Copies of this chain bind each other. A is one copy, B any other.
Amino acid sequence: MELFTKEYYMNEALKQAKIAFEEGEIPVGAVIVLKNRIIARAYNQTEKLNDVTAHAEMLAITSAANYMGAKYLNDCKLYVTLEPCTMCAGALFWSQIGEVHYAAQDEKRGYRKSNPEILHPKTKVFQGPFREESEQLILDFFKKLRK
């Protein structure tokens, strides 16, 4: 896969989601990119941490801010395998992140259902690649869970 493309970054987010899958977590992964460099990688850890706030995006925001020593992420891009929920979109608003790329849509819990205007007006939003793979991973997870 060609480096430094949106496919490359979303695939890296998908790798994080696959780690979540293996660990029994709802498989969502995220990376945050600054100047072509991945500065944060995270996957959903709500089960392991017993913490509803431990979504991939939240952990990635905290990690990226920690890396930068600054809390605003204006020059950063988030790649996440599932449309952010209301909580994560609210956090992304505060971070003023430059771009949000998400793969699968979340019709039920995605932020757009609450209010598509939650994100910061400066944030550009893209439906990213690997939509089907990201959706399938989540479907497979719940199928396995029901067994």
Residues of A within 8 A of B (CB): 46, 50-53, 58, 61-62, 65-66, 69-72, 85-91, 93-95, 114-115, 117-118
> What CA separation (Å) do A65 and B46 show in the bound complex?
11
Chain B residue contacts of A61, Cβ below 8 A? 51-53
Contacts of A70 in B (CB 8 A): 50
Q: Which residue of B lies closest to A113 (CB)?
A: B115
- Further 9 A-B residue pairs, CB within 8 A, beyond A51-B71, A52-B65: A46-B71, A50-B70, A53-B58, A85-B94, A86-B89, A86-B90, A87-B94, A114-B118, A115-B115
Contacts of A46 in B (CB 8 A): 71
Query: What number of copies of this chain does the assembly contain?
Result: 2
Rounded to whole Å, the gap between the CB of A122 and the closest CB of chain B is 14
Rank and list the top 5 A-B pairs by shortest CB-CB distance, nearest first.
A87-B90, A86-B90, A52-B94, A114-B115, A87-B91
Tell whether, in the assembled complex, residue A65 and residue B87 are in contact, meaning their CB atoms are under 8 Å apart.
no
Instruction: Check if B52 sits within 8 Å of A95, measured CB to CB.
Output: yes
Contacts of A71 in B (CB 8 A): 46, 50-52
Q: Is the CB of B51 within 8 A of A86?
A: no
User: Closest CB-CB distance, A11 to chain B, in whole Å?
Assistant: 26
